[in-house]
Amino acid sequence: MTDRRQLEWLWLSAVLGPGAAHCGQVLALYGTPGELYEAVGKEDMSGLLTPAQLRRAEQLTPERFSPLLARCHHMGVRVLCQDEEDYPARLAALSDAPPVLYCTGDVSALSQPAAVAMIGSRRPSSYGVEAAALIGGQLAQAGVCLVSGLADGLDSEAHKAAVAAGAPTVGVLGTAIDKTYPVTNRRLRSEMEQGCGAVISEFAPGEATGAGGFLQRNRIIAALADAVCVVEARQKSGTMNTVGHAKRYGRTVFAVPGAIFSPLCGGTNQLLEEGQAYAAPSAAPILRHLGIEPAPQKSVSRRARPAAPTLSAEAKAMQKALTSQAQGLEPLAKAAGLSAGQALAALMELEVSGIAVSGAGGQYRRV
């Protein structure tokens, strides 16, 4: 049986459009999407809705969204409406919260008692990758939910740290819920969903989105967290856009101190210089802010190296080919004398063993 209530929320989402800038104002006046729908054509809404929104309100009906709701059920996509218990409370309280969220994976990840957004460059330095792995690992081991954008670079490092620790994590997409971008993160997304993580989007299955979708999702990343940690970012970047939303929502911002000569650290260092963020050389200050006592840390600040594992012949060949400089699959395969398939399997083996680390653009380097 079709849920009329959910259809009305889908209708409201379509009427307001991406960003839902004044969803809270609409609901404050009318209470529910159903009450708004009943008032369309009977009341003057020109001061509340834009001309485009008003046209959609008049032309669309809740019943039109029955096929979308059925498709979501068929795909295993959870439709979370603002009035539902599983809709994240941190987000529901905001004036520009999406009327509807589409979710795959473990929905409980959206309502963890402690959550931190880890954000940063899609093309990070090796320093940024190690810092994200270290701080993300410490937060995840303390049971903190890590929120990020499932993008290349430092987003991926945050999610990987959570998966490795068996901790909850939330990936917020800037695309339709049934599209993973970049496609190279499909495996990571699957690991998140099969563990205790969730992936969400305000865009329905098959919905076309442009570059603006990634900027719109930044507000959701900031809203879902109690604090935001900027690992590495340029002064002008999407990461700094997320920081702006965090400030708007009253979220505490932390930044990892970076090299003063690196443009990749320009944004983080500026935040610290201007007093807009607290320094986070480790997860300890973030955990204390959350009311969690940090575990005693070892004196070594870099990622701990495991005992030497037993490697396959292909992995040993690849280990010799790896350097401290990140390289793509093709040159590494050539240097190791392996086929592309063998090289990829060897790199995965080395990454699991803690010998190699993957970075942005599918590049690998020695730890």
Beta bridge partners of 153: none
pLDDT in tens, 171-182: 999 999 999 999
Over pLDDT 70: what percentage of the chain?
Answer: 95
Do both 120 and 176 map to the same domain? yes
Q: Which of 14-23, 81-90, 300-309, 355-364 has the highest mean pLDDT?
A: 81-90
Do both 198 and 280 map to the same domain? yes
Q: Quick check: is 56 in a domain?
A: yes
Do both 180 and 120 map to the same domain? yes
Contact partners, residue 231, CB within 8 Å, separation at least 6: 118, 119, 120, 121, 124, 128, 131, 132, 135, 154, 157, 256, 268
Do both 283 and 267 map to the same domain? yes
Do both 172 and 244 map to the same domain? yes
**Nearest of 354, 280, 367 to residue 326 by alpha carbon:** 367
Do both 330 and 201 map to the same domain? no
Do both 114 and 139 map to the same domain? yes
Residue 330: what pLDDT?
A: 87
What is d(CA 255, CA 266) in angstroms, rounded to the nearest whole number?
A: 11
Q: Quick check: is 209 in a domain?
A: yes
pLDDT in tens, 119-158: 999 999 989 999 999 999 999 999 999 999 999 999 999 9
Q: How many CB atoms lie within 10 A of CB 129?
A: 26
Do both 76 and 150 map to the same domain? no
Q: Are 124 and 360 spatial neighbours (Cβ–Cβ below 8 Å)?
A: yes
Say if residue 298's pLDDT is above 70: no
Say if residue 362's pLDDT is above 90: no
DSSP per-residue string spanning 265-314: GHHHHHHHHTTSSEE-SSSHHHHHHTT-PPPPPPS--SPPPPPPPP--HH
Do both 173 and 221 map to the same domain? yes
Do both 185 and 95 map to the same domain? no
Q: Give residue 68's domain range.
A: 4-105
The pTM of this model reads: 0.81
Q: Which of 14-23, 187-196, 205-214, 304-313 has the highest mean pLDDT?
A: 187-196
- Of 105, 137, 168, the one marking the end of a domain is 105
Do both 163 and 48 map to the same domain? no
Q: Which of 113-117, 209-213, 359-363 has the highest mean pLDDT?
A: 113-117
Q: Quick check: is 304 in a domain?
A: no
Over pLDDT 90: what percentage of the chain?
Answer: 77
Q: For the ranges 79-83, 174-178, 225-229, 324-328, which has the lowest average pLDDT?
A: 324-328
Residue 2: what pLDDT?
A: 62
- Of 224, 256, 289, the one marking the end of a domain is 289
Do both 122 and 85 map to the same domain? no
CB burial class (10 A; 0-12, 13-18, 19+) of residue 288? exposed
- Of 105, 137, 152, the one marking the end of a domain is 105
Q: Quick check: is 308 in a domain?
A: no
Query: How many domains does the chain divide into?
Result: 3
